[in-house]
């Protein structure tokens, strides 16, 4: 059990962590999320007694780390995979750590086997790849067979097989009753691994709840409605009827509709009343990634902008088209804050998401000048010119007319990991054994 109370850390006039209080319980994998520079690593260092908090305290099992008797037998940590002397062999490195905490030397060979480094045990770690370094770091964390484990970005640089292994390792460790605290930027990974989430931004606690609650609280759950592809006029009809009834309707790439603000039975009733047949009416939960982006967008310190190459480009010959911006540049302005009626918005948005360069952004209300922001996906008006451009029948992916930038944020795929996670929980651990 890790318990932080009012944890604050200042470096000069920069506050890295401010008034952070949380608990990490045993028997579960707790994810620790936050944008770059939000104070995750600083918090981890304070937990391990490496940095002294400016105020507040953090304890492990009731003791500050440096007061723990034989701390490495209670707590294992992977902070930085490169925190080894490159000139020392993997085995010597682990052996020195084992000796420091009175662990028998044969335990070193065991953990080398656990992380799969037994063949390079006597090689100098300077020549290790990022993934091998990560495995060595995990070996060091497991060395003392501790009941509290901290991992900072454990899957960095690992191959898919290694990622699967780490995922199962975390779950297995938690299932044994240990406390597992993992920071990561890989949302899909966290959705599969973590049971509980602690999210910080700019050094402050944004959220401390279970993964399921987190997603529900920070994303607009929506209903997907599909009308017969063969009759596009039904789609228009239903859209206007749903909008009249107070729902927000967004067309999707493949011809479906994304409806928010109306419960499923009501949508069905409206469709029935307007004489529209439905091919699909399904509830959808947004992905962890989307929920995370929503929550942290106001707390992101390092935000990418579009590479304009202003003043560096040659004069275009007359009649030539300026190149379209490639999708992916700049921060997507798509993760608009949930509407007030959604609730669950603990963090006040500092600034509206900026999308100054006007990348094609059909759903982004902030990009639409003068538009009020009534719902999470913005008013339907800005999309009006876009919607008809979609081919009325057939999957839209076939159509070259659809600009590519839509695909990235609007793809329905992100909903899958979250939906699949309970099933994965049940099936995956067996692979590890």
Partner 1 sequence: MSTPQPPMPQAAAPNWQAAPGPSYGGYTSPIPVVRTHLGHALASEWTKIKSVRSTIWTLGVFMVLVVGIGLLAAVVVSNSSSEMNGENPLSLGFFGLLLGSMCIITLGVLTTASEYGTGMIRTTMTACPSRSRVLAAKSIVFFLVAFVVTLVASGFIAFVDASLLENNGAKDPSAGEWLKGTVGVSLYIALLGLLSLIVGSIIRHSAGAITVMIGAVLAPLVIALFMFSQSLEDVRQALFEYSIPNQLSVFYSNSLTESGPSGWDPLWIIVGVTAVAFAGAVALLEQRDV
Summarize as ranges the residues that interact with partner 1 (CB under 8 A): 1, 26-27, 45, 48-52, 61-63, 65-66, 68-75, 77, 79-80, 82-89, 92-93, 95-97, 99-104, 107, 110, 113-116, 140, 142, 144-147, 161, 165, 168-169, 172-173, 176-179, 432-433
In the complex, minimum distance from the CB of residue 158 to partner 1, in angstroms, rounded to a whole number: 12
Residue whose CB is less far from partner 1, 49 or 374: 49
Residue whose CB is less far from partner 1, 72 or 405: 72
Residue whose CB is less far from partner 1, 87 or 350: 87
Residue found by looking up tokens 């929550």 in the block: 295
In the complex, minimum distance from the CB of residue 242 to partner 1, in angstroms, rounded to a whole number: 50
- Phi/psi of residue 347, nearest 5 degrees: -110, 125
**For the purposes of burial, counting CB atoms within 10 Å of the CB of 312, is it exposed (0-12), middle (13-18) or buried (19 or more)?**
exposed
- Spell 108-119 as b/e; 16+ CB within 10 A means b: beebbebbebee
197 neighbors 207 (Cβ within 8 angstroms): yes
In the complex, minimum distance from the CB of residue 207 to partner 1, in angstroms, rounded to a whole number: 24
Residue whose CB is less far from partner 1, 40 or 258: 40
Question: DSSP H helical segments within 83-231, as ranges?
Answer: 90-100, 106-114, 130-142, 160-175, 187-193, 211-218
- In 3D, which of 286, 287, 25, 347 has the Cα closest to residue 177? 25
In the complex, minimum distance from the CB of residue 234 to partner 1, in angstroms, rounded to a whole number: 52
Residue whose CB is less far from partner 1, 121 or 267: 121
- In 3D, which of 293, 108, 296 has the Cα closest to residue 201? 296
In the complex, minimum distance from the CB of residue 249 to partner 1, in angstroms, rounded to a whole number: 47
Residue whose CB is less far from partner 1, 83 or 324: 83
In the complex, minimum distance from the CB of residue 87 to partner 1, in angstroms, rounded to a whole number: 5
DSSP string, 327-340: TTSS-----PPPPG
């Amino acid at each position: 059990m890790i318990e932080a109370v009012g944890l604050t850390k200042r470096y000069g006039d920069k506050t890295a962590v401010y008034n952070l209080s949380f608990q990490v319980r045993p028997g579960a994998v707790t994810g620790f999320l936050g944008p770059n520079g939000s104070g995750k690593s600083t918090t981890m260092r304070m937990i391990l007694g490496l940095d002294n908090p400016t105020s507040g305290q953090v304890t492990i099992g009731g003791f500050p780390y440096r007061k723990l008797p034989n701390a490495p037998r209670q707590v294992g940590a992977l902070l930085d995979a490169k925190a080894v002397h490159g000139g020392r062999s993997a085995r010597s490195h682990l052996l020195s750590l084992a000796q420091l905490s009175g662990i028998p030397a044969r335990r070193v060979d065991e953990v080398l086997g656990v992380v799969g480094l037994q063949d390079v045990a006597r090689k100098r770690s300077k020549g290790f790849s990022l993934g091998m370094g990560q495995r060595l770091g995990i070996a060091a964390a497991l060395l003392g067979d501790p009941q509290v484990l901290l991992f900072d970005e454990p899957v960095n640089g690992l191959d898919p097989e290694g990622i699967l292994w780490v995922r199962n390792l975390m779950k297995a460790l938690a299932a044994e009753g240990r406390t597992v605290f993992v920071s990561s930027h890989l949302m899909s990974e966290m959705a599969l691994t973590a049971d509980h989430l602690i999210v910080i931004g700019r050094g402050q606690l944004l959220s401390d709840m279970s993964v399921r609650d987190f997603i529900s609280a920070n994303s607009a759950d929506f209903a997907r409605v599909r009308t017969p592809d063969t009759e596009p006029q039904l789609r228009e009809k239903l859209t206007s009827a749903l909008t009249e009834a107070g729902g927000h309707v967004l067309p999707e790439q493949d011809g479906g509709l994304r409806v928010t603000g109306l419960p499923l039975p009501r949508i069905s009733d409206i469709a029935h009343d307007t004489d529209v047949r439905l091919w699909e009416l399904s509830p959808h939960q947004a992905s962890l990634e989307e929920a995370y982006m929503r929550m942290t967008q106001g707390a992101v310190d390092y935000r990418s902008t579009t590479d304009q190459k202003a003043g560096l480009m040659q004069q275009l010959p007359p009649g030539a088209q300026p190149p379209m911006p490639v999708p992916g540049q700049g921060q997507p302005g798509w993760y608009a804050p949930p509407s007030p009626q959604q609730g669950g918005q603990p963090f006040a948005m500092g600034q509206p998401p900026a999308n100054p360069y006007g990348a094609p952004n059909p759903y982004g209300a902030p990009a639409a000048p003068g538009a009020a922001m009534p719902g999470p996906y913005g008013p339907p008006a800005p999309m009006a010119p876009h919607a008809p451009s979609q081919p009325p029948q057939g999957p839209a992916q076939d159509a070259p007319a659809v600009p590519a930038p839509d695909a990235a944020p609007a793809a329905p795929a992100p909903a899958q990991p979250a939906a699949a996670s309970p099933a994965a929980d049940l099936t995956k651990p067996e692979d590890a054994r």
